[in-house]
Amino acid sequence: MFDGLKDKLNDFRTDVTEQAEAEPDEASEDGEAALVESDGQSTTADSTQDDEASTEDDASDPSTLKRAKAFATGRIIIEEEDLEEPLWNLEMALLESDVEMSVAEEILDTVRETMLGETRKQVETTGELVEEALHDALLDVIAVGQFDFEERIAETEPPVTIVFTGVNGVGKTTSIAKLSKWLEERGYSSVLANGDTYRAGANEQIREHADRLDRKLIAHEQGGDPAAVIYDAVEYAEANDIDVVLGDTAGRLHTSNDLMAQLEKIDRVVDPDLTLFVDESVAGQDAVTRAEEFDDSAAIDGTILTKADADSSGGAAISIAYVTGKPILFLGTGQDYDDIERFDPEWLVDQLLAEDS
């Protein structure tokens, strides 16, 4: 998962390390000479006048003195010139991985601020310093808005009503079935509601999942009122002590005014506890754009990314939370009902920065 992005982040770590540690012998000799002059000590008797002038120039250069003092005390230091080319390469790598522009810029700014002028003991390598900076920068953008989904379910008065939305064909209905299984494993009962009354065959699709999972399905005829379907499911859940209502809706684009009006009506009639946006991780920048547009239109509470196991770029996973201010909550990682994972930003960052053994 996200192997392509992982490789590019490792390339950045290598680039900065090579840049910062280039020609160490020459740098240390210049630094020692500068320190000798700055401390008022004389150079060797056979030094030429030109060498003395050069050393005096080095001694008056704050950057040289800074590096020299860091070296003399057994420390490393990162300067602007060490980062210029690697940061440019990192920016291109992030954009090529479908990371949204503002997110890429935030990551670069955080890395730059963390590393510039930082001095560390030499036992902490440049590579470790880069990893720390990348870790903090990535976590800052990925973890935006995170909350404990199971805790939210436990704290909300039942039945907890969750509505799923997104464009056609991204795996909404399958994600509902997976989440129903996930909830069951944690002791929560659920009822499915087919609010996708627009698409022919939608009832059959979700009914197949309901039958496999032995769940009650609330459905109306094609062309019916989606808000009425989900409302009926809530009433059924209340009457039968069901913990969670999982409501499907028709796939739509944010520009589909009639379908977006359906979502607004569901919000008015049902007042769902959570509205989850579903899209494919492999959609990359398109998924990020759609998440932002749906959030503007329907106020989503979080995202489920499907097909994460097939995504090498990771752009959607890196960007969506930062762009919308709403967290990624689950990753779909396969076709089976068990192939759904709670999204853990810390785990993802550790995976992205792990060096292959």
What is the torsion angle, in degrees rounded to the nearest 10, for the CA atoms of residue 169, residue 171, residue 177 and residue 178? 170
> Rounded to an integer, what distance in angstroms lies between the CA atom of residue 48 and that of residue 63?
24
Closest CA to 336 of 209, 241, 235: 209
CA 269 to each of CA 54, 198, 224: distance values in angstroms, whole numbers, following the listed order: 79, 18, 15
> CA-to-CA distance for 74 and 353, rounded, in angstroms?
27
Question: For the segment 2-58, what is each residue's pLDDT rounded down to a tens digit?
Answer: 888 788 888 887 877 777 666 444 444 444 444 444 444 444 444 444 444 444 444
Q: Indicate the pLDDT class of residue 67, thresholds 50, 70 and 90.
A: low
Q: Which domains are delineated in the chain? A: 3-142 (1.20.120.140), 149-343 (3.40.50.300)
CA-to-CA distance for 108 and 112, rounded, in angstroms? Answer: 6
Q: Report DSSP state, residue 61.
A: -
Task: Give the single-character DSSP code of 127.
Answer: H
> What's residue 120's pLDDT?
54
Rounded CA separation 284/308 (Å): 11
Q: For residue range 251-304, what is the model confidence (pLDDT) as tens digits?
A: 766 556 666 777 788 888 889 999 999 999 888 888 888 888 888 877 899 999
Other Cβ atoms less than 10 A from the Cβ of 188: the count is 18
d(CA 319, CA 313): 11
